[in-house]
A and B are shown apart, each in its own frame.
Chain A
Amino acid sequence: MNIKMDLISEDKVNSMGSMEKIRFVLDGVKSGNIVVLEGGLTSEEQMKLIELAMLEVDEDFTGIEMSGYPSKKGFFNLRKKTRLTVVGPAKTMHTIKKGKDWISAVISEI
């Protein structure tokens, strides 16, 4: 089985509105892809993504696996911006481990 990965540049990510981004990610993941966003989703967008994913969970689509690492908090820049977000279907993406600066994902055939 092939697993498709979508690697989305920060420019592309920034060109989309919040809802558009979330929909884009969810559509990709629901069709079985691993979606990697440079720049990533904010915490609020990730929460919204969890909410929308839950609305669509059924016997086939069991939800998402998600990971991201936040950027270091700047002195004046109080809001944390995510640097990278990885989202995949819970069925194929497993045992994500992460530290502050790294993410490790295992991707398997179902």
Chain B
Amino acid sequence: MVRRRRTSGILAWLLEALFFKKRSVKIGIYGPPNAGKTTLTNRIIHTFADEEEDVGTASEIPHETRRAVRRGGILIDLKQNLKQFQRTNFNSNPQPLSDPTRNGDPTRNGDPSTNPSTKSGRKGRAKLKLDVVDTPGLATKIDFHDFLAYGLREEEAKQRAKEATEGVIEAIKWLDDIDGVILLMDATQDPYTQTNVVIIGNMEARGIPVVIAANKIDLSSAAPQKIKKAFPQHFVIPISALTGENMPEFYAAMVRRFR
């Protein structure tokens, strides 16, 4: 940033000074094991910070992430990134943005104004500076036997289970340092689990904003509308962290909710 200040004009400096005066927000990516939290975190970093950098490895084996990892200095600028979005915006399997059978608060589920093209029209307001925190998957039970099915040796499985329990505790502790939560759910799974309900309940009690992302909509069994139905009072954005489907709407919702 210092380098940029020197090379750009005073006007740019002023704009930056005005903007960066605002503290960046810490956004925790939470959800059950295997929801795709690390995949999503890596995608956010690739899009807005460094194409080469990964915060962690994604894996089909649950509890792959067993330590929370923070990546700072991410700037989401909807206006600047709009072109890039349009290039990477898959529309092979379009999901309805709002469930036409619902007639609730129009600012919630499938809010049309979270569309980045309308959002970026408002100058200087379509930016969000944030740190993302990839967290270990939250679970109420961990059985080392479950890992044996993935071909782990018994000792490895036991060690992984132990670290996974510590990871859950760490994820919960991190909630105290978080300004906003992305609750990521696997849209092919039942959304109405107690861990999802507990995370939302805690965030509501603390007044911390939540954006729910219904992940894996590239899979034919995905049912993001079930998630919308289960949590009607929240923003629910269907995405695919893997293919990048519908990410522009998701980033717009983040900027809108966490700014």
Binding site for B on A (CB under 8 A): 42-44, 46-47, 50-51, 53-55, 57, 59, 62-68, 70, 79-80, 90, 96-99
Contacts and interface: CB of A to CB of B under 8 A. Distances in A.
Contact of A68 (B158, B161, B175, B194): B194
Contacts, number: 73
B197 to A, nearest CB: 7
B140 A63 contact: yes
Given A54-B142, A64-B141, A44 B194 contact: no
Contacts of A68: 194, 197
Interface residues of B, number: 26
B165 A57 contact: yes
B203 to A, nearest CB: 9
Q: Is the interface of A mostly helix, strand, loop or mixed?
A: mixed
Interface of B: 138-144, 158, 161, 165-166, 168-169, 172, 175, 190, 192, 194-195, 197-198, 200-202, 204-205
Contact of B141 (A59, A62, A67): A62
B202 A47 contact: yes
B205 A90 contact: no
A62 B162 CA distance: 11
Given A50-B198, A51-B169, A57-B165, A42 B205 contact: yes
A50 B172 contact: yes
A54 B165 contact: yes
B173 to A, nearest CB: 8
